[in-house]
Amino acid sequence: MRHLLLAAVAAASLALPVQAQEPAPVPSPGEIAAAAKADEWIAIAPSDLLVMELAPDAKGKARRVVIQLMPAPFSQGWIGNIRKLAAAHWWDGTSVNRVQDNYVAQWGDATEKKPLPKGLAVVPESEYMWPYRPAMFTKIWTYGAPQDAVMPIYPSPPATSPVTNYTDPYARAFGFFGGFPFAATIKQSREGGNYKREPESVWPIHCYGAVGVGRNMSPDTGSGAELYVVIGHAPRHLDQNIAVVGRVLGGIEYLSSLPRGTGALGFYEEAAERVPVKAIRLAIDLPADERPKFEYLSTESASFLRYADARANRRDPFFIKPAAGADICNIPVPVRAVTAK
């Protein structure tokens, strides 16, 4: 695979003249995102970025993980707690205590005795899902091309060719909102002579990089003090069973490449194995020159639709057979770090 992949990188970075006889190669999903217009990228507010500084690695290299918190109305009870925990510097001196292969890396207070700040919310399980609000999604994704979120069932939506399969074994449909993927139920209603269908309930989902809230047995839903990130195949069975509060935008490799814990469920057996968390802060509470800046590709943009289609139908040169389908976790919303000019 090495030759190919290096060749593809070279082709993208050198502006080689294209010969008249040879059509330009179809761009890869990454190339489509990279070519998106500036106004298709959305800056993430520093008040929605959670910055975790792990202790430096064995070579003294800093390890910073940047997390985007989920937009309202989703998971805001837990996210309010997370903001309070960060403001109280509660995580400083805690640690990454669990790394289970193909599952999660988890951090918090290993002693389970550190007092929590006062005033944290107790969030009910009902907040694992949320009623759909009109215009929350611009498109819904099921079988076939992404469709308007409110659509008549009769007549059928126009057929596309080739039909792309975006069905989800875990939900009737999915959509994107604020840079995050959500699953949805669909309700059918009657308007005049037509039946319409639109999303009814929506919930955030566990894809690679999703950040969730550890909890004890139901009806406990966790405070937000114990957090984990998905570092393996999407554990979608956790959807609606644990709160998803964000996703990692940068630095996930500092968690996903940690040694796996050898205790039950990947907990580290020795205290020395734990990776110290130096600090967790909202970016807005950092000095301006230390704030990370990230953007995501608007999921309402034309480039995102092209990107998603290319994720489901790879036509760039390496591929010989497009899949004609994709699962939602195989369409990660593109993000990019913005560095000072």
Scan residues 40-99 and list those touching a second copy (CB under 8 A): 97-99
201 vs 182: CA distance, rounded Å: 10
Task: Measure the CA–CA gap between 49 and 341, rounded to whole angstroms.
Answer: 21
241 part of the interface to a second copy, by CB under 8 A: yes
Query: 43, 188, 233, 269: which one contacts a second copy (CB under 8 A)?
Result: 233
Nearer to a second copy, 178 or 250 (CB): 250
SS3 content of the chain, % helix, strand, coil (to 5): 20, 30, 50
Residue 282 sits in the site that holds a second copy (CB under 8 A): no
34: exposed, middle or buried (Cβ count in 10 Å: 0-12, 13-18, 19+): middle
Dist CA 198 CA 149 (whole Å): 6
Interface with a second copy includes 185 (CB under 8 A)? Answer: no
Q: Does 5 bind a second copy (CB under 8 A)?
A: yes
Least distance to a second copy, CB of residue 339, Å: 16
Query: Which residues are CB-contacts of 200 (< 8 A; sequence separation ≥ 6)?
Result: 131, 132, 184, 185, 186, 187
Residue from the set 329, 333, 334, 335 that interacts with a second copy by CB under 8 A: 329
Q: Among 106, 201, 223, 301, indicate the residue that binds a second copy (CB under 8 A).
A: 106
* Among candidate residues 272, 280, 295, the one with its CA nearest the CA of residue 65: 280
Burial class (CB in 10 A: 0-12, 13-18, 19+), 229: buried
Binds a second copy by CB under 8 A, chosen from 84, 139, 197, 215: 215
The residue from 163, 188, 318, 338 that contacts a second copy (CB under 8 A) is 318
By the rule CB under 8 A, 19 interacts with a second copy: no
Q: Which of residues 123-162 bind a second copy (CB under 8 A)?
A: 125, 128
Q: Which of 259, 270, 289, 341 binds a second copy (CB under 8 A)?
A: 259
335-337/173-177 β-pairing: unpaired
Q: Does 237 bind a second copy (CB under 8 A)?
A: yes
